[in-house]
């Protein structure tokens, strides 16, 4: 029997501070992670803004400087190739550069299924040959035909991407949707499907809308996160790109979220390991019985929750829509 190799903790290699970021304060060096949010929250725009920043060396969102630059590899499954080009050209123009000056490679295959061995091998070979600094896969739902709520099915796909990251030292961003009503939840819990998505990310970015505002929040496994930022889609010469609304400073305090009765009930059911009775919900949410019943009726009517013999729980559709 052979002993596993070990080292004293204080002798492990150190990461120099200047090499800890791919995009300073936004995305870690060699990090894997999620760009998440509900539909129409500009997730793809953010991913492309990051791609142009890394390929050009110019600040992402007009603010965050890339600490490393290089080739970007992109798979945009939901947009036609002319649309991908048009968006990248628009973002490049706002950056003050040209698309033909940037090393951004686009995978043109109509499908890429990471639950199929040949497709996984093809992606691995493509990364091995092109050696990108940053890989964008947009969105996760088009990369498989598995059950996103099943950890046993999600984990191997994310594990394969982690293997690619480690073998080829490439940062990977996966665009992923938030579940229905996700804006009511904490960011990591709002991601659609298995909790594996949240746990997997070294750097995760979340977009949500609060009234007219588009809000970006971020979290990192090994670094402190900035406060929430307000973003806007800014147009220049009919070209559009995301920018920080106040480029001088981040919001230093978390932007308050509405705490309605519906929010509190849905959050309690999200946090619970199983169904909750009316009594348990009333105690957890500190809501009067009449208001609680009104909230439960509203959430049942819109399909967010369902009633079982053991109590109330979130519906499958609210987890996977």
Q: Tell me the mean pLDDT per 10 residues along the chain, length 321.
A: 87 68 94 92 96 96 94 95 95 94 96 95 97 97 91 94 97 88 54 84 92 89 86 83 68 48 83 87 83 86 86 69 44
The reply to whether 66 and 202 lie within a common domain is: yes
CATH no. for residue 309? 1.10.10.10
Q: Is residue 228 part of a domain?
A: yes
Residues 88 and 234 in one domain: yes
In the chain, at which residue ranges do the beta strands (DSSP E only) sit? 21-23, 27-28, 32-37, 72-76, 104-106, 134-138, 171-177, 203-210, 213-220, 229-236, 239-244, 305-308, 311-314
Q: Are 51 and 153 within one domain?
A: yes
111 CB burial (10 A radius; 0-12, 13-18, 19+): exposed
The answer to whether residue 184 is domain-embedded is yes
The domain boundary residue, chosen from 244, 273, 289:
244
- CB-side neighbour CA atoms (13 Å) of 16: 3
Taking a C-beta distance cutoff of 8 angstroms, is the pair 70, 238 a contact?
no
Give pLDDT, residue 188. Answer: 55
Which of 185, 212, 244 marks a domain boundary? 244
pLDDT at 187: 54
51 assigned to some structural domain: yes
| In a shared domain, residues 37 and 64 | yes
Buried-state track 272-288, b at ≥16 Cβ within 10 A, e below 16: beebbeeeebbebbebe
CA pair distance 134, 104, nearest whole angstrom: 10
| One domain, residues 117 and 23 | yes
Cα three-residue angle 200-76-72, rounded to 5 degrees: 75
Q: Say whether both 106 and 150 belong to one domain.
A: yes
* Domain, as residue range, for 100: 19-244
Domain with residue 97: its CATH number is 3.40.50.300
Whether residue 141 sits in one domain with residue 274? no
Cβ-based burial of 129 (10 A; exposed 0-12, middle 13-18, buried ≥19): exposed
On whether both 265 and 116 belong to a single domain, the answer is: no
Residue 5 covered by a domain: no
Distance set, CA 261 to CA 180, 293, 314 (Å): 17, 10, 15
Confidence at residue 303, expressed as pLDDT on a 0 to 100 scale = 82
What torsion, rounded to 10 degrees, do the Cα atoms 52, 58, 60, 62 define? -130
Of 22, 9, 27, the C-alpha closest to 202 is 27
In a domain, 235, yes or no: yes
Which of 217, 244, 271 is where one domain is finished?
Answer: 244
**Is 157 found in the same domain as 266?**
no
Into how many domains does the chain fold?
2
């Amino acid at each position: 029997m052979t002993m596993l190799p070990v080292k004293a903790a204080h002798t492990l290699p150190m990461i120099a501070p200047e090499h800890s970021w791919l995009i300073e304060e936004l995305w870690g060096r060699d990090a894997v992670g999620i760009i998440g949010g509900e539909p129409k929250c500009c997730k793809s725009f953010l991913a492309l803004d990051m791609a142009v920043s890394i390929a050009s060396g110019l600040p992402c969102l007009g603010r965050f400087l890339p600490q490393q630059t290089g080739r970007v590899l992109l798979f945009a499954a939901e947009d036609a190739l002319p649309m991908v080009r048009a968006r990248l050209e628009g973002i490049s123009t706002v950056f003050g550069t040209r698309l033909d000056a940037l090393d951004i490679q686009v995978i043109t295959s109509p499908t890429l299924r990471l639950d199929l061995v040949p497709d996984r091998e093809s992606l691995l070979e493509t990364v091995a040959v092109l050696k990108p600094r940053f890989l964008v896969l947009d969105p996760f739902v088009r990369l498989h035909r598995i059950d996103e709520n099943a950890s046993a099915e999600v984990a191997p796909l994310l594990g394969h991407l982690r293997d690619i990251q480690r073998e080829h030292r490439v940062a990977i961003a996966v665009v992923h949707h938030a579940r229905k009503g996700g804006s009511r939840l904490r960011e990591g819990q709002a991601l659609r499907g298995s909790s594996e998505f949240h746990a997997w990310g070294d750097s995760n970015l979340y977009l949500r809308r609060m009234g007219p505002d588009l809000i970006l929040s971020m979290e990192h496994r090994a670094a402190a996160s900035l406060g929430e930022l307000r973003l806007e889609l800014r147009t220049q010469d009919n070209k559009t790109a995301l920018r920080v609304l106040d480029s001088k400073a981040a919001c230093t305090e978390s932007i308050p979220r509405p705490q309605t009765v519906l929010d509190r009930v849905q959050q309690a059911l999200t946090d619970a390991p199983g169904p909750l009775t009316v009594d348990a919900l009333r105690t957890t949410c500190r809501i009067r019985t009449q208001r609680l019943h009104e909230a439960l009726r509203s959430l049942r009517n819109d399909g967010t929750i369902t009633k079982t013999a053991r109590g109330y729980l979130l519906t499958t559709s609210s987890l996977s829509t």
